[in-house]
């Protein structure tokens, strides 16, 4: 199956779309402009990688030693007589020897997780694009020339896999949150001579300690002192097992080593962190400052001070009864925050006072979109857009539900406008606002869709409650193909945040 466009970002008249490991750019008419492809090592092709994995996972039997077979002694579990010389050993029906040292070959998992893009954002002026890839835990920064062309400036592998990215209000610092609960700050443009922050430099590297350096395996026996087939096989297996153990220890040591670029640990949650955003405001003494707002799997929305006092917690916006997966600060009214996740409602907060202003039910708005009617929803996208008329529109997408729910922000409440059902087009993955109040929606068309379905759907309106649709089908299909199981794991991860007790 071809991977659909699962992440969207709009910068001026340019639309950036992530498709698996690639980033494509389009103009406002969704005509393809350019493509950035994830770099693959020139020295290793996918077929070579699979061959290496097979070679490392297969335990080959050592060659049969020359000369007559050695004496075989009976053990307690043997029922046969002692055999010497050319006597044949007992064999099973399939021709393989049986015994307590015989093990069935275990299946080898040769599927390597691909470094798909799981975060995508742009700076306010559109000069840079930031992305994060999953399995390699890397944050990429690109320079944008304004015409859709990207030039890679840096790639930095984080200690843990980033799950959410945002930028500080001055657009100079990236805040990276991972599911282990940590939030790191790193400059958008790395300095010419990167150095670790003082707090990081003071930490000893665990990989440099003698105790963490694995000792090379030197067996006492060798193929000159061992002659029986069984012992030669055991010796060969020991060598292969120790080689794999050393490789795993080296990878673990490298993973625990602090990155050698400028970064700072700002704050942490004791639960799985799911979303991060920043909000500007006025401090107690009248100064302009910002706050960092984070959400986690344990229903918390936490408000912390910005850099350099991110360790100081201002308070919690409490009210969710299930996980929180998305946060959105209203651009025209930054004192307001919308949060959503596994609850039936999305919440509107005056975040600085931790005050809940109103709630808007999502489950009731999407029940007619699918059959049978859903009993729970998981908010996978939550975005606010400023309209030409001066109004603020909020768009909500729930995982695996073919509908886009639209609200208007009226004073301190969210008023439902329309629920646009996409039964014949597919399942929406992301949504962005183009110029002239035009919405572009990326679609997963891999299951049960109409003949005119395409990877994008453009929604325009002349009346607040009447939206016209235009499927965009003349778009590069992409080259990344996955099986259905891997595609589901890539596209749909929000519902997995729900705790098992909630499924009962």
**Each residue of 200-209: pLDDT tens digit?**
333 333 333 3
What pLDDT is attached to residue 251?
A: 65
Query: What's the rounded mean pLDDT across residues 230-246?
Result: 79
Same domain, 307 and 432: yes
Same domain, 368 and 471: yes
In whole angstroms, how far apart are CA 425 and each of 198, 443, 448? Answer: 53, 7, 9
What pLDDT is attached to residue 92?
A: 44
Residue 79 lies in a domain: no
Q: Are 133 and 120 in contact (CB under 8 A)?
A: no
Residue % of the chain over a pLDDT of 90: 50
What pLDDT is attached to residue 65?
A: 47
How many Cβ atoms are within 10 Å of 45's Cβ, its own excluded?
11
d(CA 275, CA 295): 5
Same domain, 361 and 238: no
Based on the structure, what is the number of domains in the chain? 2
**276: helix, coil or strand?**
strand
Same domain, 326 and 339: yes
What pLDDT is attached to residue 280?
A: 93
Q: Which domain holds residue 229?
A: 205-257
Residue 102 lies in a domain: no
Who's near 435: CB < 8 A, 6+ residues apart?
A: 13, 28
Question: Residue 503: exposed, middle, or buried by beta-carbon count in 10 A (0-12, 13-18, 19+)?
Answer: exposed
pLDDT > 90? residue 346: yes
Residue 387 lies in a domain: yes
Of the listed ranges 205-219, 233-247, 305-319, 429-443, the least confidently predicted one is 205-219
Of the listed ranges 250-254, 294-298, 426-430, the least confidently predicted one is 250-254
Same domain, 173 and 243: no
Question: If you average pLDDT over every residue of the chain, what do you get?
Answer: 80
pLDDT in tens, 66-81: 555 555 555 555 544 4
In whole angstroms, how far apart are CA 133 and each of 18, 130, 156, 163, 402? Answer: 11, 10, 10, 9, 27
Q: Are 294 and 302 in contact (CB under 8 A)?
A: yes
pLDDT > 80? residue 109: no
Of the listed ranges 124-133, 223-232, 301-310, the least confidently predicted one is 223-232
Same domain, 14 and 125: yes
Residue 433 lies in a domain: yes
Residue 344 lies in a domain: yes
pLDDT in tens, 353-388: 999 999 999 999 999 888 888 999 999 999 999 988
Q: Tell me the pLDDT band of 238, cut-offs 50, 70 and 90.
A: confident
Same domain, 240 and 369: no
How many C-alpha atoms does 58 have within 13 Å on its Cβ side?
Answer: 10
Query: What's the rounded mean pLDDT across residues 98-120?
Result: 58
In whole angstroms, how far apart are CA 143 and each of 158, 188, 193? Answer: 20, 11, 20
Same domain, 166 and 187: yes
How many C-alpha atoms does 45 have within 13 Å on its Cβ side?
Answer: 3
Of the listed ranges 47-51, 124-128, 318-322, 491-495, the least confidently predicted one is 47-51
Residue 77 lies in a domain: no
Query: What's the rounded mean pLDDT across residues 116-125?
Result: 95
What pLDDT is attached to residue 474?
A: 75
Query: What's the rounded mean pLDDT across residues 10-17?
Result: 94
Residue 34 lies in a domain: yes
Same domain, 285 and 222: no
What CATH number is associated with residue 25? 2.130.10.10
Same domain, 371 and 312: yes
How many Cβ atoms are within 10 Å of 176's Cβ, its own excluded?
27
Same domain, 404 and 473: yes
DSSP string, 451-473: TT--SEEEEEEEETTEEEEEEE-
Residue 495 lies in a domain: yes
Q: Tell me the pLDDT band of 453, cut-offs 50, 70 and 90.
A: confident
pLDDT > 70? residue 399: yes
Same domain, 337 and 464: yes
């Amino acid at each position: 199956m071809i991977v659909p466009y699962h992440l969207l970002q709009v910068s001026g008249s340019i639309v950036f779309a992530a498709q698996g490991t690639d980033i494509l750019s389009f103009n406002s008419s969704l005509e393809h402009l350019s493509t950035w492809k994830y770099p693959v090592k020139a020295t290793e092709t996918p077929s070579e990688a699979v061959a290496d994995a097979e070679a490392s996972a297969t335990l080959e039997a050592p060659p049969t030693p020359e000369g007559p077979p050695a004496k075989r002694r009976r053990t307690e579990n043997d029922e046969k007589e002692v055999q010497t010389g050319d006597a044949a050993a007992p064999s099973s029906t399939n021709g393989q020897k049986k015994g307590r040292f015989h093990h069935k070959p275990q299946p080898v998992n040769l599927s390597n997780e691909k470094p798909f893009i799981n975060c995508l954002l742009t700076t306010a002026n559109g000069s840079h694009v930031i992305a994060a890839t999953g399995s390699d835990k890397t944050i990429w920064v690109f320079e944008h020339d304004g015409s859709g062309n990207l030039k890679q400036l840096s790639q930095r592998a984080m200690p843990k896999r980033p799950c959410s990215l945002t930028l500080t209000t001055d657009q100079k610092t990236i805040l990276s949150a991972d599911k282990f609960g940590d939030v790191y700050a790193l400059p958008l443009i790395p300095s010419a001579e990167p150095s670790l922050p003082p707090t990081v430099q003071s930490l000893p590297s665990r990989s440099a300690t003698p105790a963490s350096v694995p000792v090379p395996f030197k067996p006492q026996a060798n193929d000159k002192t061992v002659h029986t087939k069984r012992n030669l096989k055991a010796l060969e297996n020991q060598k292969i097992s120790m080689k794999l153990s050393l490789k795993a220890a080296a990878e673990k040591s490298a993973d625990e080593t602090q990155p050698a670029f400028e970064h700072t640990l700002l704050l942490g949650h004791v639960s799985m962190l799911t979303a991060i955003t920043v909000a500007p405001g006025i401090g107690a003494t009248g100064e302009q400052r910002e706050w960092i707002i984070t959400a986690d799997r344990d229903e918390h929305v936490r408000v912390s001070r910005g850099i350099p006092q991110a360790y100081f917690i201002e308070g919690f916006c409490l009210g969710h009864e299930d996980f929180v997966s998305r946060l959105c600060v209203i651009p025209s009214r930054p004192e307001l925050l919308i949060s959503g996740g596994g609850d039936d409602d999305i919440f509107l907060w005056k975040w600085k006072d931790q005050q809940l202003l109103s709630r808007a039910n999502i489950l009731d708005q999407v029940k007619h979109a699918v059959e049978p009617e859903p009993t729970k929803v998981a908010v996978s996208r939550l975005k606010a857009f400023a309209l030409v008329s001066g109004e603020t529109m909020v768009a909500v997408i729930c995982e695996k539900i073919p509908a886009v729910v639209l609200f208007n922000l009226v004073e301190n409440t969210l008023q439902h406008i329309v629920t646009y059902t996409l039964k014949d087009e597919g399942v929406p993955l992301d949504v962005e606002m183009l110029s002239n109040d035009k919405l572009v929606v990326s679609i997963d068309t891999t299951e049960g869709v109409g003949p005119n379905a395409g990877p994008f759907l453009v929604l325009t309106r002349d009346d607040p409650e009447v939206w016209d649709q235009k499927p965009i089908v003349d778009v590069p299909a992409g080259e990344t193909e996955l099986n259905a199981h891997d595609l589901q794991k890539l596209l749909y991860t929000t519902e997995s945040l729900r705790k098992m007790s909630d499924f009962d």
